[in-house]
Structure 1
């Protein structure tokens, strides 16, 4: 079969339209990527929405993935139409498949939607220490479907976003260090308070880099059958409260030993 000029013109026009569709899809995707980067990522443009960089990049990737698949689908349908293929059944089939996925994979969809709002609302970010249910650890990765936590023992916990009902973030703002000191009723309360103030001053000087406020002696907070309880508190940078509490207890022990003040119900044998 010989190709007539009309056939060549028809085929040439069809090829040009297909190439135009593909180039249009690529340019649209590229343009959308630039817009998303300018909106979410501060490093890309001087004026951007006030997002944390890690959260912004995660959200940007999420939005771009969704739009990328939409553009691919539209481009494929348009190319098929150029070949005179009825795409009505394809679009309808996509709707049926989508409905089936919605019914059969509700947990998967819930994971995606919950993950989107976790990033959007900045509930936590990579590097934060969080507790969710009976699992806690430092966030190593926030994906579209799961969040990965590494606990103090090195165990990696993988939590589907749909299973995250409540989150406690230990990294936002300050943390409070609290030390309760039991003191016998027979002890000299004035002397004890003086020693506790000395312990506070010592820890404040030696751990100044992690201190925000204090430490300070609150005073007597409880009376028990054999002892009274004096509380000390301090505000620290995130995840450093245990370090401050340990230092306070260590210094209190040294000062109490020097002053011959024993814990309740313990007699020092001389």
Structure 2
């Protein structure tokens, strides 16, 4: 495309002018044509990318709209709602736009240098050697960038997700091609290079399980206490706002452990992503109220003698 514009610009130069004037008028004109062509090509590509993004978002939205209310619940429960999908597509579109812009601008710059008689062969050879040297020194940067690209394309996590990187657990605040920024439960901000994330656990995709363990004395009537706990939590799924959060009715799974004169009973419930902590607190509150009303005493921990 640029070659055709270059040729067209050459025909626009009046041939009746003397040779010095042809060079003086022709080169700037051809430079202007190349710049305009590059700007036009960049504009067209960006418009095509934006059009594809809009169509992709519309298809994603229609896919769940056809299923009605069930589709909306399914999208939110699985972590693939419209907002999440739009962020993912927008991030990928930004990467494509930036890559295309670099290619177009770089090609136009090389063509302009060629018009001024600057030999491109030695320049490209020097750039290749310099790029090779920089590549050896920036292996970690390339590794981080490629890892970040695959994380975004594969939608391993996004902004707002709670993830476990193996070294820290926190909420994702920003995802770039090189680093991921997390904020843990203490409010500390962590900057983690994408290439250093060897394993990843996403607690915000799909659903979570709220787990509450209750320790009782070994001599307590387990059948009676289990009935009290079941009655305390089974109505949770029918009340607001928990009915929109819970995906199943909380239930007592039974005895989880027995050790040192204690019996551990466990209550579990399948909940929507990122809603586990709130449900666990509410279950603990209801169990406390039920235990107080039915005179169920928690075992007192043994405290050894102090010096």
> How does the TM-score come out when normalised to structure 2?
0.77
Q: Report deviation, 1:234.
A: 0.3
| Structure 1 stretches of at least 4 aligned residues deviating more than 4 Å after TM superposition | 43-51
From the superposition, tell whether residues 45 and 10 of structure 1 become closer, same or farther in structure 2 (CA, over 3 Å): farther
From the superposition, tell whether residues 177 and 47 of structure 1 become closer, same or farther in structure 2 (CA, over 3 Å): closer
From the superposition, tell whether residues 34 and 47 of structure 1 become closer, same or farther in structure 2 (CA, over 3 Å): farther
Counting matched residue pairs gives 262
Mapping 1:107-186, distance limit 5 Å: 107-186=140-219
RMSD value over aligned CA atoms? 2.4
Q: What residue number does 1:9 align with?
A: 22
Native 8 Å contact 1:184 1:227 kept in 2: yes
From the superposition, tell whether residues 194 and 140 of structure 1 become closer, same or farther in structure 2 (CA, over 3 Å): same
Q: Distance in 2 between matches of 1:181 and 1:27?
A: 67
> How does the TM-score come out when normalised to structure 1?
0.87
Q: Distance in 2 between matches of 1:154 and 1:115?
A: 24
Native 8 Å contact 1:38 1:45 kept in 2: no
Partner secondary structure for residue 211 of structure 1:
coil
Pair 1:42 & 2:75 matched: no
Partner secondary structure for residue 213 of structure 1:
coil
Pair 1:33 & 2:46 matched: yes
Q: Distance in 2 between matches of 1:76 and 1:246?
A: 61
Partner secondary structure for residue 174 of structure 2:
strand
248-257 or 46-55, larger mean C-alpha shift: 46-55
Q: Distance in 2 between matches of 1:144 and 1:32?
A: 22
Q: What residue number does 1:196 align with?
A: 229
Q: Distance in 2 between matches of 1:35 and 1:256?
A: 63
225-234 or 83-92, larger mean C-alpha shift: 225-234
Native 8 Å contact 1:38 1:48 kept in 2: no
Q: Report deviation, 1:174.
A: 0.9
Aligned match for 2:256, one of 207, 216, 221: 221
From the superposition, tell whether residues 184 and 126 of structure 1 become closer, same or farther in structure 2 (CA, over 3 Å): same
Q: Distance in 2 between matches of 1:189 and 1:24?
A: 80
From the superposition, tell whether residues 165 and 19 of structure 1 become closer, same or farther in structure 2 (CA, over 3 Å): same
Mapping 1:45-56, distance limit 5 Å: 46=58, 52-56=85-89
User: When you count helix as a share of all residues, which structure comes out higher?
Assistant: 2
Q: Distance in 1 between matches of 2:212 and 2:60?
A: 44
Q: Distance in 1 between matches of 2:185 and 2:257?
A: 33
Pair 1:261 & 2:276 matched: no
Partner secondary structure for residue 234 of structure 2:
helix
Partner secondary structure for residue 212 of structure 1:
coil
Unmatched 5+ stretches in structure 2? 1-15, 64-83, 302-307
Q: Distance in 2 between matches of 1:47 and 1:16?
A: 45
Cα deviations by residue, 1:179-209 (Å, 9 ceiling, x for unpaired)? 2222334322332121011111243335323
Q: What residue number does 2:106 align with?
A: 73
